[in-house]
Amino acid sequence: MAIKKHSIRKSKTGTRTALGKWKTNKTVLVTGASGGIGYDLSSIFAENGYNIVLIARNKEKLLALANQAQQMFGVSARVIVKDLTRPKAAEEIYRDLEREGIIVDILVNNAGYGLLGNFAFTSKKDELEMIQLNISAVAHMTKLFLQPMIKRGRGRILNVASAAGFLPGPLMANYSATKAYVVSFSAGLAEEVRENGVTVSVLCPGPTFTGFQDRAGIRENSFVKLVMADSRVVARAGYEGLMAGKLVIIPGFFNKLGSLIARISPFSLTARSLRRFREPKMLPIVRKLP
């Protein structure tokens, strides 16, 4: 199958890329789709016949994924280049799709990042943008796309949190707190919409291999090799859990065990133990996570 030509349109709200005529398949929107879990989730949805709306900042990677999905699986694709650390970005995405008549059946709030380091000395800008991306953008995107789902009487939402959301997070204090919000928000929202034909799931992976670990040579670190999972495996677990209507999806034995221990251990003891465990292993890798 030949790859269809794409047209790129500049609007006041950013770059929108349309690849061919929109098909009648159900549609999934994935934020943070240019790499890692978001990339793999997008690919898995396309493989299962879903049209895909891809959101991220990297236009080239999104276009490559969109073209691949069209060529291999015959689905429709939209690329919208947006930075969700901008407070207005979610509204712009929603309005773009509304104008084009694209109905989002499944929303995947995957975009997010973390910071390693002592909170007192990390970048203020990065910490505040992380709150915007990991919390505010999740709430804003959900607020916009949930009401149409309820009106249609069907829809699914997958929020990507982290196993860190069950634990206090020394050396990742703000990141862990943002993911705790996503876990709690998802569980509460799932109950609110339980009788409206909409399901809400939250994916809580542990550390996951994505692009920067290879570039940084971190795969050679024995600690990292022990605890990190492959992003494709995590994405597959997220997809299957979502489609099964599962609320909390925790891939991997160690992550399940950690979440269980967190529920029964005092916060102060857990935090102290985690710091002693993490500090010598993680400080050499103090850098932005993808």
Predicted pLDDT of residue 228: 72
Q: How many domains does the chain have?
A: 1
| Inside any domain, residue 258 | yes
In contact, 174 and 125? CB cutoff 8 Å: no
In this predicted model, what pLDDT tens digit does every residue of 26-36 receive, in sequence order?
A: 999 999 999 99
| Inside any domain, residue 5 | no
Q: Give the other-Cβ count within 10 Å of 263's Cβ.
A: 7
| Inside any domain, residue 125 | yes
| Inside any domain, residue 110 | yes
| Inside any domain, residue 4 | no
Predicted pLDDT of residue 272: 64
Which CATH number belongs to the domain containing residue 110 in this structure? 3.40.50.720
| Inside any domain, residue 7 | no
| Inside any domain, residue 65 | yes
Predicted pLDDT of residue 96: 97
Which of 180, 281, 186, 175 has its CA nearest to residue 228? 281
Q: How far apart are CA 4 and CA 75, in angstroms?
A: 11
The structure tokens listed for 148 are 């149409």
| Inside any domain, residue 2 | no
Q: Give the other-Cβ count within 10 Å of 230's Cβ.
A: 13
User: Rg of the chain over CA atoms, in angstroms?
Assistant: 19
Predicted pLDDT of residue 15: 56
16 backbone dihedrals φ, ψ, rounded to 5°: -115, 130
Element holding 202 (H helix, E strand): strand 198-203
Which residue numbers in the chain have pLDDT < 70?
Answer: 1-20, 209-227, 252-262, 265, 267, 269-275, 277-290
Domain range for 212 is 12-285
Residues serving a catalytic function are 175
